Structure 1
Amino acid sequence: MATLAFPDFGRRGDGVEELTITDPRTGELVGTLRCATDGELRQAIDGARIAQALWAQTPAETRGRLLREAAEVLAEHVDELAELNCRETGRNETDARAGVLAGVDTLRQYAELGPVHRGHSLAGVSTASDYTRFEPRGVAIVVTPWNDPVAVACGLIGAAIVTGNAVVHKPSERCPHLGQRLGSLLTSVLPADVIQTVTGGPEVGARLVGDPLVDVVAHVGSSSSGRAIARLAGLSGAHVVRENGGNDALLIDSGLDPAWCAREAARGAFTNSGQLCTAVERVYVHRELADEFIAELSAIAAKLNDDHELAPLVDERMRAQVDEQVQDALEHGARALVGGEPDRRPGCYYPATVLVGCTPEMAIMREETFGPVAPIQVVEDFDEGLIAAGDDRYGLSATVLTPQIAHAELAIAELPVGTIKINNVFGGAPGGSAHPRRDSGAGYGYGPELLDEMSIAKVVHLAAPGGRADG
């Protein structure tokens, strides 16, 4: 078996840290990049502050036009960016390409939304004008993940830039080559230092976030990283937007087709090998259809494994974390009907796994797994499942499969999550934006409302000298 490693930090002879990336499919070397030094980070933030002052004065229409041009440049390099994604994260070619195209579309959307982002007129005295106006916050630090790196980065960067901010972007240390190439394509269109990309791990991110000249921080990633970022930004006063981990529940009611429920559960748990923030992480199924549902889901998982359809996990560290949770569940009484141990093929593969006999005390039911695992707990009725689904420290999203509108309405009202999906694990109209709850983050991390997060409101009262205060 090839020797595989998660991103490896080393030091050159001159003491500069380096980041080495291997392909999670084969273990082959992708490349080595030098991490940004303290001096380079200082230069990046100072350069962003200077550039932002000029960029903020650029008409919104011009900012939108340049962002639209940047989107077209990315569209010309879809295949190149998708290939880098495959090599660094192991994502399959179809999904990687779709992620880049989603990033292109996101830039186009913000290019249109930015110029019409505006304040409100206020009802004041008749002889004065009262209104609010949005202004850019200033220097934005954008810290993005590896599991959908282009789409997420384009959303945060696009919203920040079109509202007049300058961005210093730190892509995940698991896909730095992709992050650097994305940055170089954007900078080929935008003015100097409006967007800069720096390479490094958590230490680089911490130095960026904690800088007193930073005005806003946008982070998509783990909850532990998000909490650390919030603490650092609390000292500097920077505004923080973060979409973090989830432990999303799937609640399956009685009176449904077990085969359809199994297909929905498989989509939610196994898509992108479970490496999605809104993946199904725990399943609560009504006893009435539990046996048939479990049999159908196990058959789907077994076929995925037999056909080798799942992409690898991003690196050996992630595979070890997934397996640790699975083995903990097995040691505490769960049973693996399918999968349950690392794939023996070369690469960071983990099989689609179906666990039954799971209980609330198990780590796999309490923590985000981020792997292709469907842990199942059988419940006696809908109310028991609803209580169990809501008993969680995360609050990103949840899915409910039910034929009863009353149960759907109850779940919508009771589940403490930012997004709830009824009868479709990945459904949703464009433009929807939610506040994640609890350990899943804070603020609008996407959608039109992200423009508000990247802006700061000012109230204006404009009166003529000597005018009457009462109008």
Structure 2
Amino acid sequence: MNVQTGFAQDVRVDFTGPYRHAINGALVDSAGSFEVFNPATDEVVAHAPNASRDQVEQAIAAAKAAQPGWAALSQDERGAYIAAYADALDAHKQELITLLTTEQGKPRHSMATTEVEYAIFWVREVAKRRLEDEVIEDTPEHTVKVAHTPLGVVGAITPWNFPVLLGLWKIAPCLVTGNTMVMKPSPYTPLCTLRFGEIAQQVFPAGVLNVVAGGNEQGAWLTEHPDIAKISFTGSTATGRKVMASSSCNLKRITLELGGNDPAILLPGTDYKPLIPTLFDAAYGNSGQWCIAVKRLYVHESLYDDFLRDFVAHAAEKTVGNGMDPNTDLGPIQNKMQYGKLKDLFADVKAQGLSVPLGGEIPDGPGNFVPITIVDNPPKDSRVVREEPFGPILPIIKWSDLDEVVRDANDTEFGLAASVWGPDRDTAIGVANRLEAGTVWVNEIHIHGIDIPFGGHKQSGMGVENGQEGLKEFTNTKTYMFRK
């Protein structure tokens, strides 16, 4: 690999199209393409290239050829490239924000801006992180040292709900630890990823970061390929099971960040009124389309009636609309598949005769718009409680017995995150300790950090992202022993 000595200082990209794969430092067309829709209007906004089998093979081969030279660079040298990539992305921040709203639907002035800015910040910060060798034993006679060596080529498959953040969340730690990557974005939201793949070709050495677009077929080519050493996947639990099975062909390392049905528990005596905006955003942010959204809200019976009244009043003030409208609070559902699943769930809520103090009827018309919906104290075995809706619908559930509500909160195949809210910190922490989840927040929610590990329990995933543990997920542990 020809290691560059400088970086592109003026990275220019035309965001209007056409869109191409990024393979081995070049932009590549495909014979076939697929339509990309604006979920607020149902209009086709672009055509994305549909990678052939040969193009996926070329991307993997390029990453494999580039990896030894990339790994031979020092961590500081790789970090400098990644920092330059953050600068190049930042130069196109406004275009990325607009494109994100166009293909994903989230409001440009809020969620889309936050996602892009946070993702670029994340890349810049991860560029500074290092994995140092660990000395386990060092005596006059003997030394034991543990090093963390690159895996090789990583295949990354990203979802449609946070395509920019979760894409860059994978790229930066993968590259800083000496691996190369082939990334495939969701076919519902490929455009931003193709653009930051294009930007990468002007910053990194050829083959270090490759981006190919397509659907399930292209994803399977990555997971099955013997030259892919690791798959980093974010998506549904059902698809995660398929990824895990497919990756077993050569015992790939895998990181799976999957679904969730996250509970939030309000303890008696909680001063809930200041928390309502936070809890609303935690449940309905991105129109409920995130794995760590509050999806079951358990409120103690002493607070329940007043809380429900005030929460409904707050939610009723919010606006669902086109994400390009600055008055929009929540955008549309991103794709017709998920929109159809929500229509089916809403029909079940209606058929079961559940109490719905807000929303409940999905209107006809262009765009995948679903109203903010609250379900009042549904039975614990109802679908709206048992399933992950991935949309703007929230069951609020009354509880009286602490042991029972903890059992109910844990009674799920998922274990991604949870939160506990209460006036006494020690009591709330005691409840948090009993919850089966990879992350539990107490009197706060959705706090993340570059150095904070994130991963799920049970069927919410395998492995962790972020922190030193997340960096190590992209490495092999290698133990050296020296007799002096």
TM-score (norm 2): 0.89
**Would you say the 8 A contact 1:286–1:382 is kept in 2?**
no
Query: What is the Cα deviation at residue 428 of structure 1?
Result: 5.0
- Does the 8 A contact of 2:107 with 2:328 survive in 1? no
Q: CA deviation at 1:305?
A: 4.1
In structure 2, list runs of 5 or more residues that go unmatched. 1-29, 321-326
Q: Does 1:242 align with 2:256?
A: yes
Which residue of the other structure, out of 309, 325, 348, is the alignment partner of 1:328?
Answer: 348
The answer to whether the Cα contact below 8 Å between 1:63 and 1:161 also exists between their aligned partners in 2 is: yes
Question: Secondary structure of the equivalent of 1:204?
Answer: helix
Deviation at 1:213, TM superposition (A): 1.2
Q: How does 1:414-433 map to 2 (within 5 A)?
A: 414-427=434-447, 431-433=451-453
- Alpha-carbon distance in 2 for matches of 1:144, 1:290: 38
Which deviates more from structure 2 when the two are superposed, residues 91-100 or residues 118-127?
118-127
Name 1:315's counterpart in structure 2: 335
Say whether residues 1:441 and 2:457 are aligned partners: no
Alignment of 1:300-449 (within 5 A): 300-305=314-319, 309-344=329-364, 346-427=366-447, 431-449=451-469
Q: Deviations over 1:57-101 (max 9, x none)?
A: 112211110110011000000011111111101111122122111
Shift in CA distance, 415/167, structure 1 to aligned 2, threshold 3 Å: same
1:419-438 deviation per Cα after TM superposition (whole angstroms, max 9, x unaligned): 11112232356521133111
Q: Secondary structure at the match of 1:191?
A: coil
Deviations 1:122-155 (A, max 9, x none): 2154134321111100000011112111111112
> Which range is displaced more, 98-107 or 158-167?
98-107
> Bigger shift: 272-281 or 301-310?
301-310
The aligned residue for residue 99 of structure 2 is: 84
- Determine if the alignment matches structure 1 residue 42 to structure 2 residue 62: no
Aligned partners of 2:445 and 2:482: how far apart in 1? Answer: 50
Tell whether the 8 Å contact from 2:271 to 2:423 is kept in structure 1 after alignment: no
**Are 1:408 and 1:422, in contact at CA under 8 Å, matched by a contact in 2?**
yes
- Mind listing any 5+ residue stretches in structure 1 that lack a counterpart? 1-14, 465-471
Alignment check: 8 A CA contact 2:449 2:466 kept: no
8 Å contact kept, 1:142–1:219:
yes
TM-score (norm 1): 0.91
Aligned residue for 1:168, secondary structure, equals: strand
Counterparts of 2:241 and 2:295 in 1: how far apart (Å)? 21
Aligned residues: 448
Partner of 1:7: none
Q: What amino acid is the match of 1:312?
A: P
Aligned to 2:128: 112
Q: Which is worse superposed, 323-332 or 437-446?
A: 323-332
- The 1:108/1:261 distance shift into structure 2, 3 A limit, reads closer
Distance 2:316 2:271 in 1: 20
Q: Find the partner of 1:175 among 142, 166, 189.
A: 189
State the AA in 1 paired with 2:360.
G
Aligned equivalents of 2:223 and 2:270: distance in 1? 48
Alignment of 1:201-350 (within 5 A): 201-305=215-319, 309-344=329-364, 346-350=366-370
Task: Select between 393-402 and 127-136 the one with higher mean Cα deviation.
Answer: 127-136
2:45 to 3, 8, 30: 30
State the SS of the aligned residue for 1:333: coil
- Judge which range, 227-236 or 307-316, deviates more: 307-316
Q: Is the 8 A contact 2:107 2:329 kept in 1?
A: no
Distance 2:452 2:362 in 1: 37
Checking the alignment, whether the CA contact within 8 Å between 2:181 and 2:208 is kept in structure 1 is yes
- Percent of matched pairs sharing the same residue: 29
Contact 1:262 1:294 in 2 (8 A): no
Q: SS at 1:122's partner residue?
A: strand
Give the aligned residue type for 1:39.
Answer: D
1:71 aligns to what?
Answer: 86
The residue type equivalent to 1:367 in the other structure is E
Q: Deviations over 1:272-302 (max 9, x none)?
A: 1111211111111111111111111111221
Counterpart of 1:144 (choices 158, 165, 175) is 158
DSSP-derived class of the 1:349 partner: coil
